[in-house]
Amino acid sequence: KEIDCDADELAQLKRELARVEAGRWQGTSYLAQEMEGIGGVVKKKVRKRVRVGATVKEWEDERERGGYLGREQKGLVRSWCSWCERVVLGKKDVERGSGTDELSRWPSASSSSAESSGASEYRD
């Protein structure tokens, strides 16, 4: 719709439009999303980011090749099994023995839990 107006009326219309739209956030992100509900009501849903574990170290050779978690899959370093929620011992942990003070605080410090999580093939 076109309206004939002078500069003062245009400035006033822009101010009114800015005041009406100022309360409405435009855009989207992963953590905050706008949703239009019943009757045109706009709701903002906010997601909380929760840290679920330690950050996985990105090795230089993995960055270059594009493969990830190779050391964890081979059992060379300690990793976490999210399926059984236990620590999977790495090669150094197995060589040192599972009864060390450092590992005794983890739920998988016993040999039975390490075997159930698939780490038994690296015990030899």
Give the pLDDT confidence of 27-57 residue by residue, as tens digits: 566 677 777 778 878 787 777 777 766 676 7
Residue 14 or 106, more confident: 14
Q: To 10 degrees, the CA torsion angle through 29, 32, 38, 40?
A: -70
Tell me what pLDDT residue 28 has.
60
The reported pTM is 0.31
Tell me what pLDDT residue 34 has.
76
Beta-strand pair 86-88/79-81: antiparallel
Tell me what pLDDT residue 46 has.
78
Contact 72, 109 (CB under 8 A): no
C-alpha–C-alpha distance, residues 113 and 80, integer Å: 12
- The arithmetic mean of pLDDT across residues 110-120, rounded, is 43
Q: Where are the alpha helices (DSSP H) in 4-96?
A: 7-22, 60-65, 70-74, 91-96
Structure tokens given for 90: 């790495």
Model confidence at 120, pLDDT cuts 50, 70, 90, reads very low
Q: What is the pLDDT of residues 47-100, one digit of tens each?
A: 777 776 667 677 788 778 877 778 878 888 888 777 788 888 888 888 887 544
Angle at 89 between CA 84 and CA 91, to 5 degrees: 150
